[in-house]
Amino acid sequence: IDGAVYGSFPTLTQLIPVYDEDIILAVGKLRGSDDGVNTNLSFIITQYPDQWNLLAQKEKLTPEELYGAFMCYTDPNNTPSDQPPCDKDEREHVITEVRLWASMRMQTVVRTIHGAVLYHKALAVLAGLPGINNAGKSPVQLMLSHQTFGGRQAAAAERDIKWILWKWLDQNICVCVNYDRDGARPDSGLRAKVESFMSSTSQSSGGTHSAHSGSPAATSASNGFKFASVLIGYSKVLEDDGWKVLHVLPRLFPLRIGKGAFQTQGKSANQKHALLFCKGHVLQMMDANMGAWMGEAFKVPFVMRQMLDPRGDRRKSACRILGFRETIFTREHSAVGEAMAGSEWTFGTIFQRTLDYLGVRMHYGHPDFMDGFWASNRGSTSKASPSLNVSEDMCAGLNLWLRKERSKHSDLLEWEKGREVDFIASSVFFAKISSGASSFLRTRDLFMICENMSLFRQMSFFYGSAGFFLNNAIVDISVMIYVSIFLCLALASVSIADLTLLESPLATEWLLPVGAVTILPQFFELCLEYGPIEGAARLLPRMLPTTIFFVFQNKVVAQSFTNAVLTGFSTYRGTGRPNANKPSTWLQIYRTYANSHFYSALVVLFIYNIQSVMMPGDTSGASTSSSASLPMYMIIFIAAIWLLSPTLFSPQPQPSTVWNNIIEFGSFLVGLPSQKVSRTELKPLQLVGGKGEGEIPERQPGDKNANMFRRLLALVSGTIKKFVSPRTFLVRSAFEAEPKTLYEHWLKISFRDHPWIENFADPGQLGPLILNLFCNLAVFWIVTAMMYAQLLDITVQAFGFFLCVHALLVTIWTATNRSNIIGSLVLLWWLPLPFLIPYIVPHLAPPTVTFAEIQLSGLAFILAMRVVRPASLLASQVALRSVTWFLTSPRCVRLGGGHVDAAVAVRVAKGVYGNVTELVYLLGCEFHVHVYAGVLIFTANLCLQVALMLVEVITGLHSLVFLNPRLAGGWFRAVLRQRDEASNAARMGRAAESAKRGARASVAQI
């Protein structure tokens, strides 16, 4: 690359950052099973059956023999008796070939490298064209920036990287690794080779400096540096174990700076330290799940010329970032993969082309081309600020706009890329980009950019950045507002007939969502590229699953964006990219979506049910019934999607899967913590007095100097020590493991939502709690202001009585060391409330009060508890702060109480606050609301998955639509088997006919 003649086309460095992605799929992963039905290898085979047949022909085996050979090599002693024993070389050859075949069809690093190397081969073909003179050097460099090479957990990846260096030793491939002297694994040899390289370099330079270090302090191996960026390459020397050190750049700081949540972004830091070794004029920013074709590789040098100044001035550039199209090779893996591929294709083609036309395109990901010299001198290729630059790629676009440069899009080139094919993984991806868009709005760069933009350019810029996410948040909020309006109308005795007389649009049923028009750009683009018939054939079969998918995922986008705006916090989230055949358990689904989707769906259905029953009839005297309200088909459809989509998209429902989900999720729901649950042990309260440390002094018999304050202090001390004791409540300052019961799950969230306020003067800590309290109070006031008196009587009398008995049961439960019998009574106590109302409030016996009115009273009670809980916790914090301040003040010493260490007092106050949080969690019925909602969610998932299981077992339709036709069972499996047999017979017939024609031609020539 150093000797290339610049001008004909720019030199290129392809940069691939890697952390813990799969280099080559491991044997154990291919032989394992994510779904409990098929091995991962057999799932990949069903995606590409023809290509598996070609591999079997290459190995001179049948497809079944090749699969059996790979699987039987798990243990040579377990070779089936009907197969001959295999020697070591044959076994390793088959394993290697199958691993590579599977890896080249999944989202792996080796697929990305293979696609990048195609450009190297294309240049070798183009080398004879006039105007290109590489002078024996390669004008392209492939840089693999591996963040964990030589570390504690990268042993398997290191072997694969050595194989890659050997496989493409004729290409200009090198690996940039992060060297940490203390974290390097001894058997990796990284530390020894780095020290040997620095020692030899220091000796060759006279002991004054080391190559590429730039620091005299780095020359001594004995006083060596701790951190460095190291470039390694292939070595033919046997003693080098396949690789050697090429360059070392010592660093003063580690790769990621900071601690905890304030640690810099790993991917951005990985790109930054690899940028030091990049030599190309242009950088191709790649991900570790990409690929390419040979035909596209030939286009690369001609597309890169679009970055050059058209007049040939090397001091100028037509653009600093050049993007191009992407095709998603995981499209056929599942219905989720199809939806994600359509989304990525729309965004990477139609949307990018539009942004380029508007002149507001930035840097939205990979594999964009970027001006290497410009990026290395102006803030790298991305930004690494924690919780602010979550969408680190987009922040390179901010650098571009701040310097009034341009980013363009080209339709001449198309690269392969993988996307998430699992439902939960896709939700994590959307949550990441949504929270990243929220943090993007808080950047100082955006503020400075908008200060220098015209109004119309700002509108285009908003469309190209955060507009989509803000629009989804507004639409999500509007659904709840829509059903709440009808609840208020029902309470105000306003009927649909009254709305019709007022010509209000609320009297019209909402049938066609406005968002349906967003399908038109994709349809027109498909028609342009494939024609109207094939475009419709590609779009229509997947329209219903894709619609369901994005109705659900748009809720993820809205919820993540809203939470990030309200909390001011966002973080990077890795998706893991699991296989499409990995089913999600009900417990995983509940933990992921309960707060964002399931509760919203239940609230919408709950409000709809109340308003549909309570909506008054028309003026003609029609009776009050559900026909008096709007059907709200779209609202019910949306709520059903929020509630059932994760189970619907979970692949391959089997009887064993349903049974395991019932056992696991049922245990999670009804499980209550016992004394065996691990807790945070709290030490006794300590004093620091004149005679040393000791416990709070209690009054001893015969103590004549004991005054009233000491007696009161001793009483408070005994109460605190008993209250702080872990035998009373489940005190957890931090949950180290994932909660195993619903009780602990929501208690952990309660601790997170109502934390101990370290500084009351900090509005960032106190403000959210007060805002939450006043929002809950406003909602409670609006609902109760519209309720008539008898509903308030039910709320106050019936629910108040049950709350008193509930408090008594909770006290007995904790006093009896969490007895299972009392715990069951605590859980079941609220269920008979509707049947006992006539005995508690006699004048409200049915039919005076309907079940819908009881539900509405329950809603008022729940809203009242939502006000009481934060108010109680806030008041407890104020009281504990006051006691802590008094115990640590000089006044306490003057009164004879001794001096209390401030840190100890705060620690005990936090422990008491933890117990108060759990007490409010129990007495405020928060736990019971979650349990009853969990039962409804459990019932809905059970009914749906049993139905899907029957459909799958009988017909195989579920796998046909949502996963893979070749994995379908039942009737479709028989149909597909007959079709494959007919296809194979026809292919064999054509082959036989072709052989006969060839034989006749040979005879004729003779």
The pLDDT mean for the chain works out to 79
Residue linked to tokens 């069903």? 46
Provide CB contacts within 8 A for 504, sequence distance 6+: none
**Three-state DSSP class for residue 622:** coil
At residue 195, the pLDDT reads 86
- Asked whether the predicted pLDDT for residue 930 surpasses 90, the reply is yes
Task: Name the DSSP letter for residue 684.
Answer: P
- The CA distance from 663 to 671, in Å, is 12
Closest CA relative to residue 288, chosen from 116, 553, 108: 108
431-467 pLDDT, tens digit per residue, is 988 888 888 888 888 888 888 888 888 888 888 788 8
The DSSP annotation for 380-408 comes to -SS---TTT-SSTTHHHHHHHHHTT--EE
Confidence of residue 558 (pLDDT cuts 50, 70, 90): very high
pLDDT at 98: 93
283 backbone dihedrals φ, ψ, rounded to 5°: -105, 135
The residues, ordered by sequence, that sit 6+ positions from 468 with a Cβ below 8 Å of its Cβ are 437, 557
Whether the pLDDT of residue 29 is over 50: the answer is: yes
For residues 871 and 773, the answer to whether their CB atoms sit within 8 Å is yes
Q: Which has the closest alpha carbon to 167: 116, 91, 106?
A: 116
Q: Where are the alpha helices (DSSP H) in 650-762?
A: 655-670, 708-724, 742-753
SS (H, E, C) 871-885: HHHHHHHHHHHHHHH
Instruction: Identify the H or E element spanning 227.
Output: strand 227-234
- In 568-697, which residue ranges form alpha helices assigned H by DSSP? 586-593, 599-614, 633-649, 655-670
Q: Which of 338-352, 823-837, 884-898 has the lowest mean pLDDT?
A: 884-898
What letter represents residue 471's amino acid? N
Give pLDDT, residue 88. 63
Q: Within 13 A of 129's CA, how many CA atoms are on the CB side?
A: 12
| Higher pLDDT, residue 883 or 88 | 883
What Å distances lie between residue 130 and 127, 133, 551, CA to CA? Answer: 8, 8, 54
pLDDT at 705: 41
pLDDT tens, residue by residue, 151-190:
766 677 888 888 898 888 888 899 999 888 888 887 778 8
Digit-coded pLDDT (tens) for 664-721: 999 898 887 754 333 333 333 333 333 333 333 444 444 444 444 455 555 555 554 4
The 10s digit of each residue's pLDDT in 382-413 is 777 777 777 777 777 888 888 888 889 999 99
Give the distance, in angstroms, between the CA of residue 812 and the centroid of all CA atoms in the same chain. Answer: 42
List of residues 6+ apart from 236 with CB closer than 8 A: 169
Q: Give percent of the chain above pLDDT 70.
A: 81
Whether residue 569 has pLDDT greater than 70 = yes
- pLDDT grade for 86, boundaries at 50, 70 and 90: low
The predicted structure's pLDDT at residue 359: 85
Q: Give the chain's end-to-end CA distance (angstroms, integer).
A: 56
Nearest to 641 by CA among 597, 594, 607: 597
What pLDDT score was predicted for residue 222?
39
Q: What is the pLDDT of residue 656?
A: 86
Model-level pTM? 0.85
Among 377, 619, 613, residue whose Cα is nearest residue 498: 619
In terms of DSSP H, where are the helices of 754-850?
Answer: 763-786, 789-793, 799-815, 820-828, 833-840
859 phi, psi to nearest 5 deg: -60, -45
Angle between helices 926-954 and 586-593 (to 10 degrees): 130
Q: What is the mean pLDDT of residues 324-330?
A: 89
Q: Two tokens at 353?
A: 């082309």
Q: 10 Å Cβ neighbour count for 74?
A: 12
Q: Is 679 exposed, middle or buried (0-12, 13-18, 19+ CB in 10 A)?
A: middle
DSSP string, 479-541: HHHHHHHHHHHHHTT--HHHHHHTT-GGGS---S-GGGGGHHHHHHHHHHHH-HHHHHHHHGG
- pLDDT bracket for residue 85 (50, 70, 90): very low
